[in-house]
Amino acid sequence: MAKMAQNEDKKRGAKGAAGHAYDASSITVLEGLEPVRKRPGMYIGTTGPDGLHHLINEIFDNARDEAMGGFADEIEVALLPDDYVRVADNGRGIPVGIHPKTKVSALETIMTTLHAGGKFDHEAYKVSGGLHGVGASVVNALSEHTKVIVHQDGGMHLQEYKIGKPVARVKKVGSSKEHGTVVIFKPDIVIFKEGIEWNWEKILTHLRQQAYLVKGVRIGVIDARQSKANAIGEVEGLFLHDRNLDVPSMTFYFEGGLKSLVAFYNSHQVPVHKNIFYVDRETDGVGVEVALQYVDDITSRITAFANNTYNSEGGTHTTGFKMALTRALNTYGRNANILKEKDENFTGDDVLEGITAVVSVKLAEIQFEGQTKAKLGSVEAQGAVAAVFGEALAAFLEENPDDARAIINKVLLALKARKAAKAAKDSVLRKGALEGMTLPGKLADCQTKSAEEAELFIVEGDSAGGSSKQGRDRRTQAILPLRGKILNVERARIDRMLASVEIRALVIAMGTAIGDVFDISKLRYHKIIIATDADVDGAHIRTLLLTLLYRHFRPIIEGGFVYIAQPPLYKITKGKALAYAYSDKEKEEVLKELGVGAGESAPVSEDAEEFPAGTAESEIAETASKKPAKVNIQRYKGLGEMNPSELWETTMDPTRRVLKQVHIEDAEAADRIFDILMGTDVASRKSFIQSNAKLANLDV
């Protein structure tokens, strides 16, 4: 009986809770490119704007790999009408012959099969940014329509695909004296539901960066979205730049490599030393290229690449770089007697303060952590970078004593500042501990202890603080009013920051601490909402707060915890009708709905009409009923002008409010903007303001 019961249990387990059999037939097998469409995020990270632009990068990377191998010297990326993208290179051209294993064209194999490509054959590509050979096939799978034209061996060959599947076999469509590949694709709106919107500046930034990395290669970018389709000529020739199209275009070509890139990054900075360090050498089959220069700043900027693929999270090559940098500067400082016996050694934080560096490695066998290649995992890169860079930097310091002394003095200043900042920070934390880590008195905290549902509104001034405290949901919403403009922390160290009452209150309220003891798991609110006034001062305060969060609490932004409130600009009433408008355009739309046409005057008050003495009340009432109600428009200058109920229903009520989540789409571009707007380079800031003044919509 016991054995029978056991068998029955096995049967019940096999069928599962719903009674359905779980056997071999339950296993779903996705064929061809179906896995890509089923789980696109696994291959491109996201189906939002970043994933959309990743498609261009994948096809461009294939063309760039041809250039890295010495087979191409020109690449062109063009945005076409109807959301199409065209990428062309004058490389060898994708092979079009029959593949011995798949029995179809090699082109079709590459475009329709995952893990197929020339990146596995080191005779074809010694160095490649490709990892699994999935780039072209993934783009094809996620595109509504793809067309590939290959110029090779005197012929021009074509194949088209619909949602990753070939429309027909590869066919020869003409003769050609050129050689290279043209890939034209249109992303599938079914996959990219947020919309197909190409960001011209984002594309330019990436391709400019790549031009620095591949010396001697010309990269063209064309915005032909407004051109007529028949003017593009999808099949005719490799490149569009010689067709005299009257459309926006840019061309990038740099001979200086990473040295030029560092100079570009530091164009708005004050260099600490004149000569930019540069080394380009190979060891044990690993190519190492590094450039660096220190500037008069406290922020470190290290940009890393592996096989010319940007690694936003660094990896083993940056680890080797930091180790060698710390060792070399400590050794030189001791030998030159700049670091005295009483001085402690430089730490990793000391040597990174104010550095701008680009680290690039090239490996035959490369390992990334994930298909999006954000972090390099190849172990051999660490030792190669440490050896090549360490030796070259030691030689640079010996051969350039003025530069060396300037660098060591810069790092020595960082060491002293670090010790002073630590003392100040410890003092604040020690004081907080004695007070039981008391929250700031100006903070009106919420009742919930769950960070997931807690919100912190950072408001401007006591009047806004008073209204928001009365109008809030006390259970989930906390209010922290700030007085005046906080310290610009772009060039301020932690000791000076913590001396600011307003900044210290915000740090304690958030709960994460700061600096080397920062712990995002202790964040007390998962929505930190900046709610400043809709005027110039409010915009400035918002910028100062974002600078603080970006420079010292960046994981909070990256975690998606920072928001900007969108209070209304206008309150519009007509009789019993009430509406709020969040922009001038919205105001005009509301007025139109209320019967006030464009250009008509909209009275801002309802003045009492005078009647002759002795007029009966019934006559006054009749006249008033026939008179159309006037429109009252109230322009809000700040949150303090709203009463608590207005503030709740427009800005704080989760069911009706509008919040903008803060993201870092391009860290390098963001860093550069913060440098320009919040740094000490007045000329650059003035130039930026003059160039973008027409885009501003300010209520001064």
How confident is the model over 106-116, as a mean pLDDT? 84
More confident residue, 630 or 511: 511
In a domain, 13, yes or no: no
In a domain, 614, yes or no: no
Q: Which residue range(s) make up the domain with 413?
A: 258-421
Per the annotation, the verdict on 535 as an active-site residue is yes
Per the annotation, the verdict on 246 as an active-site residue is no
Residue 521 has pLDDT above 80, yes or no: yes
| Confidence band, pLDDT 50/70/90 cuts, at residue 77 | very high
Say whether both 303 and 214 belong to one domain: no
- Tell me which residue has tokens 């139109």: 592
What is the per-residue pLDDT for 479? Answer: 95
pLDDT in tens, 23-38: 334 333 345 688 888 8
pLDDT in tens, 46-75: 899 989 999 999 999 999 989 988 899 999
639 strand-pairing partners: none
Considering only CA atoms, which of 541, 548, 413, 530 is closest in space to residue 494? 548
Q: Distance between CA atoms of 54 and 59, rounded to whole angstroms?
A: 9
Q: Distance between CA atoms of 169 and 97, rounded to whole angstroms?
A: 11
Residue 418 has pLDDT above 50, yes or no: yes
Domain of residue 92, CATH code: 3.30.565.10
Say whether both 224 and 321 belong to one domain: no
What is the per-residue pLDDT for 184? Answer: 95
Among 230, 252, 274, which residue terminates a domain? 252
Considering only CA atoms, which of 386, 401, 419, 394 is closest in space to residue 338? 401
Q: Distance between CA atoms of 372 and 309, rounded to whole angstroms?
A: 10
How confident is the model over 383-396, as a mean pLDDT? 97
- Catalytic residue of the set 65, 353, 502, 533: 533
Contacting residues for 195 by C-beta, under 8 A, at least 6 apart: 189
Residue 171 has pLDDT above 90, yes or no: yes
Considering only CA atoms, which of 262, 258, 226, 264 is closest in space to residue 245? 226
In a domain, 653, yes or no: no
- Tell me which residue has tokens 């002073």: 420
In a domain, 26, yes or no: no
b/e per residue, 210-244, with b = 16+ CB within 10 A?
bbbbbbebbbbbbbbbebeeeebeeeebbbbbeee
Per the annotation, the verdict on 121 as an active-site residue is no
Sheet of 570-574, strands arranged across: 577-581, 570-574, 631-635
| Confidence band, pLDDT 50/70/90 cuts, at residue 180 | very high
In a domain, 109, yes or no: yes
Q: 496 with 563: CB under 8 angstroms?
A: no
Say whether both 242 and 263 belong to one domain: no
- Catalytic residue of the set 460, 490, 502, 675: 460
Q: Distance between CA atoms of 414 and 297, rounded to whole angstroms?
A: 10
Say whether both 206 and 263 belong to one domain: no
Say whether both 357 and 490 belong to one domain: no
What is the per-residue pLDDT for 679? Answer: 66
Strand 301-306 relative to strand 355-362, pairing: parallel
What does 510-542 look like in DSSP terms, one character per residue? H----GGG--GGG-S-SEEEEE--SSHHHHHHH
Residue 506 has pLDDT above 60, yes or no: yes
Say whether both 289 and 236 belong to one domain: no
Return the percentage of the chain with pLDDT > 70, whole number.
Answer: 80
Among 210, 235, 252, which residue terminates a domain? 252
3-class SS of residue 159: strand
What is the per-residue pLDDT for 343? Answer: 81
Residue 412 has pLDDT above 80, yes or no: yes
More confident residue, 236 or 622: 236
Q: 65 with 213: CB under 8 angstroms?
A: no
| Confidence band, pLDDT 50/70/90 cuts, at residue 293 | very high
- Tell me which residue has tokens 């194999």: 109
In a domain, 291, yes or no: yes
What is the per-residue pLDDT for 119? Answer: 47
Q: Distance between CA atoms of 314 and 302, rounded to whole angstroms?
A: 8
Residue 472 has pLDDT above 90, yes or no: yes
Contacting residues for 654 by C-beta, under 8 A, at least 6 apart: none
Q: Distance between CA atoms of 591 and 583, rounded to whole angstroms?
A: 12
Say whether both 243 and 286 belong to one domain: no
- Catalytic residue of the set 73, 178, 473, 535: 535
Q: How many CB atoms lie within 10 A of CB 26?
A: 9
Q: What is the largest CA-CA distance in the chain?
A: 108
Among 421, 449, 483, which residue terminates a domain? 421
Q: Mean pLDDT, the chain, as a whole number?
A: 83
Number of domains the chain is built from: 3
In a domain, 150, yes or no: yes
- Catalytic residue of the set 50, 234, 453, 537: 537
Residue 568 has pLDDT above 70, yes or no: yes
Say whether both 121 and 156 belong to one domain: yes
What is the per-residue pLDDT for 99? Answer: 84
Say whether both 181 and 300 belong to one domain: no
Considering only CA atoms, which of 49, 4, 349 is closest in space to residue 187? 49
Domain of residue 310, CATH code: 3.30.230.10
Per the annotation, the verdict on 73 as an active-site residue is no
Say whether both 395 and 468 belong to one domain: no
In a domain, 227, yes or no: yes
3-class SS of residue 73: coil
How confident is the model over 355-369, as a mean pLDDT? 91
Return the percentage of the chain with pLDDT > 90, whole number.
Answer: 46
pLDDT in tens, 114-164: 865 554 444 555 555 543 345 899 999 999 999 999 999 999 999 999 999
Name the pTM for this structure: 0.65
Q: Distance between CA atoms of 117 and 121, rounded to whole angstroms?
A: 8
Say whether both 303 and 370 belong to one domain: yes
Domain of residue 547, CATH code: 3.40.50.670
| Confidence band, pLDDT 50/70/90 cuts, at residue 44 | confident
HSE at residue 517, side-chain half, CA atoms within 13 A, is 12
pLDDT in tens, 595-604: 775 444 444 4
Q: 587 with 600: CB under 8 angstroms?
A: no
What is the per-residue pLDDT for 83? Answer: 94
| Confidence band, pLDDT 50/70/90 cuts, at residue 435 | very low
Say whether both 538 and 677 belong to one domain: yes
| Confidence band, pLDDT 50/70/90 cuts, at residue 434 | very low
